[in-house]
Structure 1
Amino acid sequence: MDRHFSLTRRARAVGLAVLTAGIVSSAAQAQTFQFSSFEIEGNQRIEDATILSFIDLPTGQSVSAARVNDGLQRLQNSGLFESVELVPQGSRLIVVVQEFPTINQINFEGNDRLDAEILQSLVTSQVRRVFSPQQAERDAATIIQAYADQGRLTASVTPKIIRRSDNRVDLVFEISEGRTVEIERVSFVGNRAYSDRRLRRVLESTQAGIFRALIRSDTFVADRIAFDRQLLRDFFQARGYVDAQVLSVSSELSPERDGFFLTFRVQEGQQFSFGALTASSDLSDVDPDQFQDEIRIGEGKTYSPQAVDATIERLELLALQQGLDFVRVTPRVTRNDEARTLDIDFVVERGPRVFVERIDIEGNATTLDRVIRRQFATVEGDPFNPRAIRLAAERIRALGYFTQSDVSAREGSDPSQVIVDVDVEEQPTGSLGFGANYSVQDGVGLALTFRETNFLGRGQVVNFTLDTSSDNANSQLTFAEPFFLNRDLAASFSVFYRTTDSEDGAFDTRSVGASVGLGFPTGEYSDLRMSYSFTRDTLTPDSVATISQIIEDEQGTADTSAIGYRWRYDTRNVGLNPDAGVLLQFGQEFAGLGGDEEFIKSTFRLAGETTVWNGDVLLLATVEGGNLTSLGDTVSRESNRFFNSQNILRGFESSGIGPRDLNAGNDPLGGNNYFAARVEAQFPINLVPEEYGISGAVFYDMGSVWGLDNVNGGPTGADIVDDSFELRSTIGFGLLWDTQIGPLRFNFTNAVNAETADREQSFDFTISTRF
């Protein structure tokens, strides 16, 4: 290395000294200069006229020494030259310049965490362009910020140059990456209703734990703190703490300078509930009673801004349905501090007569305009509704296609027109994953996944999965169009191939098929999906094994052609109560439109979850079941019957309960019916450091699989298989470990009620990860 590249102070000093000497030598005679000619030396790329324009000195006229000095300063500040000298020689002024060199190549030294390709994309200095010290300094600051975003706050970058021939230089950024500065501890001051442990789960920033080498969210990033403050405030307000504030956030560097201690000072305030909820209007064409009927918030419920917003949206939609344009719903809140209630009057009033002139979209290089435009319920020429525009902005952000999206409105061609500007910045929407999983029942498995959520910029989804284990293989390709026919219809098509090859079983299976579906919302939290599927199932008995006559009768290939539907109501994670939710799901399949099978297959599921003890304990409950009813002269086949799994009844192996032919291979036969009920409580384990992500669970499961159309088993078919309803139940304890390599769960179970032929499983361990 020759030297640092910073502006040549020595050369500047030379220039000033030469000029000053000329001025002093002439001081006895005159205080001014008069130049009749200018000579320029050293310039190669810069024209003489350009240099003279910066000096800006007249020919043949008297100029003061100060004006000559100003010309020198302008030339130096132009950023075109590494050094400048003005040498007065009588009536001549000699201008000696040294141009900045051109960049021959750009290199990075000392970088390990960030590849050279990434760093190259950050710098603005370019090869074969004129070298600029100021620009290189800015590039160094940009690189430092990139390291700071990864928690390396002590990183330093020194730009240097290596002189080459022909006035060229190599620009080298010498990088010292420094150590990662982690968040050692996150604590809170002023919280009473919620524990530190619960509030830490709200934040984007996390404490450094056992997998700190893999976790990036535990590194200290100053920009993330502002987002954490907003998350905390939203958390409290969604639970009725309308006055909640995050007063300050202090960050203290540890003595070793390798970690930060973050302290959030919060002020919760009082929790408020909804009081009287009314609708009113001074408009003659508005019936307040009709709007009152659309208010579905119960008095006495905990206040929630989301509930208020949902009510406003519902009332404004009602106004549109009644043909009322330019109508706004404004909530007027009356606060009762003594009762800690908020009375809300939803006032239906006339808004300004403003129309949407057009919607301008910028920044989308891949995503088609129509994918973004269909997130708006408003089109050009519609009345302008600020709330509708905000909801569209939220939907655009929820797509996941963009790193950032800004939606704003400005005045159009006249005050009655509004132009909506949408500015987005795209991000990759495809992912390729390789994974591994393990369970006690299925052993080690491998997985390959490919998913593209914005296929060809059309907002379509393409998903391919391949999962294998020691006994099973499952592959599926799915294509989905979420806005079929430019309507709120989700169309999908999938093909699949599944095989089972159990080493201790008496038969193997293979299924290949395809399905199409069409889904649409039926309510605020509900949707309905219609489908058609065609499946070809093949059952192959083991030639040397003793097999049940029931399985023997089902060997060969059978086709199933079925139509079906599934209705779902789900308020988990999206409902008005952020700490509770329910799922109600019911579906049926009707087989017999062609094919070999004729049946009606019905399933239902009811699940609920809520938090207690200020959000530290999560309670889960599920009830589900199914029925398969054969039609005509057909009997159910193994491929369509129900079998137990760990998702239905824990404490037993897959297919470990239900009808079984004890006289022929002890093979599980499945059942035409199943029922299961599960309750679980998940809680923190205070003896384990919180940053390890380990929690506990206790659960109780009960259920059964029963019912067959054909109970004649045994080698000759003369023995009767017991297919009666027998309730099984288990209790258990689980350890849940949320790690960066995947969620781990250890279940320890004990069967309370079991049958002699059941196959129990007292321990189960599962891990699933993607790379």
Structure 2
Amino acid sequence: MAGSRFLNTVSGAALSLAVAVSGGVVAAVAVPTSAYAAVVSNVVVNGTGQAGSDAIKSKLTIQPGRSFTDADINQSIRNLYSTGYFSDVKISVSGSTLVVNVTENQLINQVVFNGNRKVNDKKLEGVVQLHSLGPYNEAQAQVDMQRIKDAYAQIGRADVEVSIETATVQDNRINVAFVIDEGGRTKTRKINFEGNNTFGDARLASVISTKRSTPLSFLTRKDIYNPDKVRHDETLLREFYNNHGFPDFRLISTDVDYDEEDNSYSITFTMSEGDRYRFGDIGVASTVEGVDIETLKGDIKTRSGKIYDADDIQKTSESIAASVSSQGYPFAQVNPRGDRNFSNDTFSVNYEIDQGVRAYIERIEIVGNTRTRDYVIRREFELAEGDAYNREMIARAKRRLEALGYFSEVNISTQPGSAPDRVVIVVDVTDEPTGAFSIGAGYDAEGDSLVVELSVQERNFLGRGQFIRASAGLGDNDSQIYNFAFTEPFFLGYRVAAGFDLYRAYSASQDYYTYAETAGDIRLTAPLTDELSSTIKYVYQKFEYDGTGDWQNPNNLSPVFQNLINGSPWTVSSVEQAFNFSSVDNYQQPREGVLANLTNTVAGLGGDSHYYSLTGKVRWYQMISDQADIIGSLTARGGLVTPFDSNLNVFDQFTIGGQEIRGFKQNGLGPRTVVQGDALGSQYYTTISAEANFPLPGIPEDVSLRGAAYLDAGSAWGNAVELANTAVEGTDFALRASGGVALIWNSPFGDLRFDYAIPFAKEDFDETQRFRFGIANTF
């Protein structure tokens, strides 16, 4: 009898736990400290309906004939509540019988959403946890309403109101309706910066992800206020200053004001920049016996006299760690030690190599990814399960994941493993949209006409990390351009990008012939360093010329082009090898760094062309004024093509014009026939351009509208096309030059550029074009 009284006391404690859990709050259970044990011979379940008694018994930790304690009763109650099917659970003992009394939650017949227009049902269904045929739980309903509010906050509707309605139907089932009042769209009306003396407001506005509201913000949604996004902006500001010479930068406060009448936010970032430093003495030291320090000096990216850059310190640490690991010290870790010299504002760094903790990676856990496949994330790690844990290699993987552009946030943390020398790596990512549909404008160089283009692009196709782009363009003169591109970034499991391109263009812009090109290529790109890669490509091209009108009249069309029409179609089979270098800080709007390309082409693997060509481009970006956000750039281009036999075809030579020297038509300068004026292209070319890019006064940075002023110069000369007694001019080197201004708009429809240039050095036979409109190109 004493045991029975004890168990009834425990039942009361368990009941108090049941009430606490059903209210959505988990409380500690006050149970007697005595550890009496008891035994029952059978279990009786009362109140079961949809859930059978056997299903309830399976959740109990108490079995007939086995002793149990108060802890078993408490755990059994927890197990039953965890199913979500019960609103009340009581367990008691009557003689030798364990009595389980339950009250079931109602089952959900249907879940619907009312009032939602901006977020569709499918997305909301993925947000809430209540679902058809599942149990209805008031606590879960409250959680789901908050999740719906969070989903609306992501699209700038933080003042959304959500309520819930239920209607009972037959057999203890209910219909659940989430009633949504979407409210108005929340905007970011102002973004202010205080304490910034070195960098202007426009420069800092380009750094953060939150943008000020503009008439086109409904397309980009970059003006949506989100507290998590603002916290990310704080990190971006810190990183920006740390990477531009300010190791003592502090973000003092971030103040957010909400205007109820306007339903908008104003954000003010208050900061202290500190002094700007340059790197001083740079050294490497090691406490690990056997490490060859001399071989590590090539890994150093922080140079004395260079502006302090925290990112260069991190990259150097990662590079040294990789080299030390390759020397046979996988556990070594690199600790950069900084020493400020306040008298001359220098920051000395000594990279100290120490023997790290001997720990191994037990497993790598991927969480948070709702779209991107696990293997796409794992392959960015140069470490795997069982490898030695290396802090710098983990940091390198984080940078690579962030550089993919698939995630809005990447966090990597460690947890203890199953043994003291085991570590669990937890990779927590948040997927972001990677697809794009755009309506833009381009320029058909061959057809010399404007083309309106529709394109669809996906950078993370089916979550596999693959790139796909398809576009179609139509323009005047019946111009047509079609493109399709596909890239697999990890071909056969190696860090080698493989892909192919398909291209089709047609134009009837010429007076006496139409022109069509069909082309395709397959390519492989392998990284040589973090900034340098090499690409090898096989290209097949087919050119078709069709005469129109009185094309056989030599006064209208030169014998050179009549020969192209008579011999059509023409094919070119070639192999290209290219080196590509990039150190720019941002591809969309570079402000610092270098882009360079060197391409070798050999044609003659079949087809009608047999030649070797070499082309190169390099563009250097440098800030002219940090305060005014003025970007300077210098661009140099050049090329030569030489035949393996006696001559080249017209389509083998270079087409130079408005893309390289603005103010001229495409193919508007260089050799051409005297009588007919047919452009032949050139065997050689060289150009140089200087440009200053700046924000327009009075135009918010968030509008993404900038101006530019530039000077272009260069020449296209030489001819290896068989002339057949045709007079030609422009084969000698002659300098062309122009100056102009541009309006550049990073629009929701693509990067558009409007140029107006005036040639001030040209030949009489050159064809000019002062106004040009097309796609903005950083290279």
TM-score by length of 2: 0.80
Matched residue, 2:527: 521
Matched residue, 2:602: 590
* CA-to-aligned-CA distance 1:666-712 (integer Å, 9 cap, x gap): 22222222222111111122233444332211111122222212474
Looking at structure 1, the residues matched to 314 and 308 of structure 2 have their Cα atoms a distance apart, in angstroms, of 12
Selected match of 1:481 from 460, 463, 488: 488
Looking at structure 1, the residues matched to 297 and 369 of structure 2 have their Cα atoms a distance apart, in angstroms, of 42
Looking at structure 2, the residues matched to 631 and 690 of structure 1 have their Cα atoms a distance apart, in angstroms, of 52
Secondary structure of 2:520's aligned partner: strand
Matched residue, 1:118: 123
1:611, CA displacement in angstroms? 1.0
List alignment gaps of at least 5 residues for structure 1: 1-11, 13-39, 52-75, 85-95
List alignment gaps of at least 5 residues for structure 2: 1-18, 20-44, 57-80, 90-100
- Contact 2:486–2:500 under 8 Å retained in 1: yes
1:658 matches 2:670: yes
Looking at structure 2, the residues matched to 642 and 709 of structure 1 have their Cα atoms a distance apart, in angstroms, of 11
Q: Quick one: structure 1 residues 106 and 358, their matched pair in 2 at CA, closer, same or farther if it must change by over 3 Å?
A: closer
Matched residue, 2:507: 500
- Contact 1:210–1:691 under 8 Å retained in 2: no
Matches within 5 A, 1:52-67: none
Looking at structure 1, the residues matched to 723 and 49 of structure 2 have their Cα atoms a distance apart, in angstroms, of 101
Q: Quick one: structure 1 residues 485 and 124, their matched pair in 2 at CA, closer, same or farther if it must change by over 3 Å?
A: closer
* CA-to-aligned-CA distance 1:174-194 (integer Å, 9 cap, x gap): 322111121111111211111
Looking at structure 1, the residues matched to 55 and 468 of structure 2 have their Cα atoms a distance apart, in angstroms, of 58
After alignment, is 641-650 or 370-379 more displaced? Answer: 370-379
1:260, CA displacement in angstroms? 1.6
Secondary structure of 1:214's aligned partner: helix
1:472, CA displacement in angstroms? 3.3
* CA-to-aligned-CA distance 1:56-107 (integer Å, 9 cap, x gap): xxxxxxxxxxxxxxxxxxxx9x9989999xxxxxxxxxxx999865444333
Selected match of 2:329 from 311, 324, 333: 324
Matched residue, 1:90: none
1:438, CA displacement in angstroms? 5.8
Q: Give the length in aligned residue pairs.
A: 687
Selected match of 1:729 from 715, 724, 737: 737
Partner amino acid for 2:439? G
Selected match of 1:620 from 622, 633, 638: 633
Matched residue, 1:564: 576
Q: Quick one: structure 1 residues 414 and 146, their matched pair in 2 at CA, closer, same or farther if it must change by over 3 Å?
A: closer
Partner amino acid for 1:728? R
- Contact 2:321–2:393 under 8 Å retained in 1: no
Q: Quick one: structure 1 residues 617 and 561, their matched pair in 2 at CA, closer, same or farther if it must change by over 3 Å?
A: same
Partner amino acid for 1:342? F
Matches within 5 A, 1:113-512: 113-162=118-167, 164=169, 168-254=173-259, 256-292=261-297, 294-360=299-365, 370-401=375-406, 406-422=411-427, 431=435, 433=437, 435-437=439-441, 442-451=449-458, 453-454=460-461, 459-470=465-476, 471-502=478-509, 504-512=510-518
- Contact 1:509–1:539 under 8 Å retained in 2: yes
Secondary structure of 1:529's aligned partner: strand
* CA-to-aligned-CA distance 1:140-161 (integer Å, 9 cap, x gap): 2222222222222222122223
Looking at structure 2, the residues matched to 362 and 133 of structure 1 have their Cα atoms a distance apart, in angstroms, of 28
Secondary structure of 2:394's aligned partner: helix
Selected match of 2:756 from 748, 751, 765: 748
- Contact 2:440–2:749 under 8 Å retained in 1: no
Partner amino acid for 1:193? T
- Contact 1:711–1:720 under 8 Å retained in 2: no
Matched residue, 2:39: none
1:612, CA displacement in angstroms? 2.1
Q: Quick one: structure 1 residues 354 and 108, their matched pair in 2 at CA, closer, same or farther if it must change by over 3 Å?
A: closer
The alignment's C-alpha RMSD in Å is 3.7
Matched residue, 1:18: none
1:618, CA displacement in angstroms? 0.7
Secondary structure of 1:388's aligned partner: helix
1:606 matches 2:611: no
After alignment, is 124-133 or 221-230 more displaced? Answer: 124-133
Selected match of 2:711 from 665, 684, 700: 700
* CA-to-aligned-CA distance 1:352-393 (integer Å, 9 cap, x gap): 332334445567788666544432222344322121122223
Looking at structure 2, the residues matched to 337 and 209 of structure 1 have their Cα atoms a distance apart, in angstroms, of 44
* CA-to-aligned-CA distance 1:24-46 (integer Å, 9 cap, x gap): xxxxxxxxxxxxxxxx9999768
Partner amino acid for 2:545? L
Looking at structure 1, the residues matched to 575 and 85 of structure 2 have their Cα atoms a distance apart, in angstroms, of 75
Q: Quick one: structure 1 residues 554 and 699, their matched pair in 2 at CA, closer, same or farther if it must change by over 3 Å?
A: same
Secondary structure of 2:149's aligned partner: helix
- Contact 2:517–2:543 under 8 Å retained in 1: yes
Looking at structure 1, the residues matched to 775 and 150 of structure 2 have their Cα atoms a distance apart, in angstroms, of 36
Q: Quick one: structure 1 residues 280 and 404, their matched pair in 2 at CA, closer, same or farther if it must change by over 3 Å?
A: closer
Looking at structure 1, the residues matched to 484 and 590 of structure 2 have their Cα atoms a distance apart, in angstroms, of 34
1:458, CA displacement in angstroms? 5.3
- Contact 1:625–1:673 under 8 Å retained in 2: yes
Q: State the percentage of identical aligned residues.
A: 28
1:432, CA displacement in angstroms? 6.7
Matched residue, 1:640: 652
Matched residue, 2:78: none
Secondary structure of 2:236's aligned partner: helix
After alignment, is 653-662 or 245-254 more displaced? Answer: 653-662
Secondary structure of 1:201's aligned partner: helix
1:339, CA displacement in angstroms? 2.1
Matched residue, 1:541: 547
Looking at structure 1, the residues matched to 490 and 584 of structure 2 have their Cα atoms a distance apart, in angstroms, of 24
Looking at structure 2, the residues matched to 321 and 412 of structure 1 have their Cα atoms a distance apart, in angstroms, of 25
- Contact 1:272–1:303 under 8 Å retained in 2: yes
Looking at structure 1, the residues matched to 159 and 369 of structure 2 have their Cα atoms a distance apart, in angstroms, of 36
* CA-to-aligned-CA distance 1:529-581 (integer Å, 9 cap, x gap): 22222323233333523211121233323332222211122211279x99521
Looking at structure 1, the residues matched to 548 and 454 of structure 2 have their Cα atoms a distance apart, in angstroms, of 28
Partner amino acid for 2:759? A
After alignment, is 400-409 or 692-701 more displaced? Answer: 400-409
- Contact 1:711–1:721 under 8 Å retained in 2: no
Looking at structure 1, the residues matched to 107 and 333 of structure 2 have their Cα atoms a distance apart, in angstroms, of 62
1:133, CA displacement in angstroms? 3.2
Matched residue, 1:670: 681
1:599, CA displacement in angstroms? 1.0
- Contact 1:451–1:464 under 8 Å retained in 2: no
* CA-to-aligned-CA distance 1:569-613 (integer Å, 9 cap, x gap): 2211279x9952112321111122333321111111121011122
- Contact 2:455–2:469 under 8 Å retained in 1: no
Q: Quick one: structure 1 residues 372 and 41, their matched pair in 2 at CA, closer, same or farther if it must change by over 3 Å?
A: closer
Looking at structure 2, the residues matched to 580 and 688 of structure 1 have their Cα atoms a distance apart, in angstroms, of 23
Looking at structure 1, the residues matched to 126 and 516 of structure 2 have their Cα atoms a distance apart, in angstroms, of 50
Looking at structure 2, the residues matched to 199 and 478 of structure 1 have their Cα atoms a distance apart, in angstroms, of 35
Looking at structure 2, the residues matched to 467 and 451 of structure 1 have their Cα atoms a distance apart, in angstroms, of 18
Secondary structure of 2:320's aligned partner: helix
- Contact 2:648–2:722 under 8 Å retained in 1: no
Looking at structure 2, the residues matched to 425 and 255 of structure 1 have their Cα atoms a distance apart, in angstroms, of 31
Looking at structure 1, the residues matched to 750 and 483 of structure 2 have their Cα atoms a distance apart, in angstroms, of 22
